[in-house]
Amino acid sequence: MFVEENRASVKRGWIEVICGSMFSGKTEELIRRLKRAQFAKQKVEIFKPSVDTRYHDIKVVSHTGIEIHSTPVASSSNIFLLAADTEVVGIDEAQFFDDELPNVCKQLADKGVRVIVAGLDMDFQGKPFGPMPQLLASAEYVTKVHAICVDCGQLAYVSHRTVANENLVLLGETDNYKPLCRQCYNISNQHT
């Protein structure tokens, strides 16, 4: 009886991952979930990698302009330190974080925190991106969102880079990337 009473009183945490290509609505979905938690008067902390300054230095901003205040951090270990006494942690652009991010998310979830992570599941070459594969494998909930292929109108598969740059990380928008389905991506790669 004592064990069951203790189990019922334990704060339960979990990990949610929102993934997909660029322009698929990952950040919008992250912000939607975080604002619902704030509306419910839950203590929410939002983090983003300090390298992502495309729209704003401290806010998480979607491509459509929806925004929420966040804390930029240089490494995933900072998230664990800054998330004390938090009920919900949001993390945007997870693919840009170091390989410790899955462990940080696990530690937070084990402490009873709801962790919501958004990020690109694949890089511009169609390969798993950064810590995302480990996050996807360890999450209780995974939501894959899709952009629309700008070449044919089907569901997009990958964020195709449209400029000549082989660096893994290249911050950009429609000037550097376009969402493509698998077939259009393969056709584009045959011409390069």
d(CA 119, CA 26): 7
CATH class of 2-146: alpha beta
For residue range 59-85, list pLDDT tens digits in order: 666 667 677 778 899 999 999 999 988
| pTM across the whole model | 0.86
Q: Which residues are catalytic?
A: 93
For residue range 83-142, list pLDDT tens digits in order: 988 999 999 999 999 999 999 999 999 999 999 999 999 998 899 999 999 999 999 999
The domains of the chain are located at: 2-146
Instruction: Work out the average pLDDT over 149-173.
Output: 79
Quick check: 1 pLDDT over 60? Answer: no
Degrees (nearest 5) of the Cα angle 24, 38, 15?
55
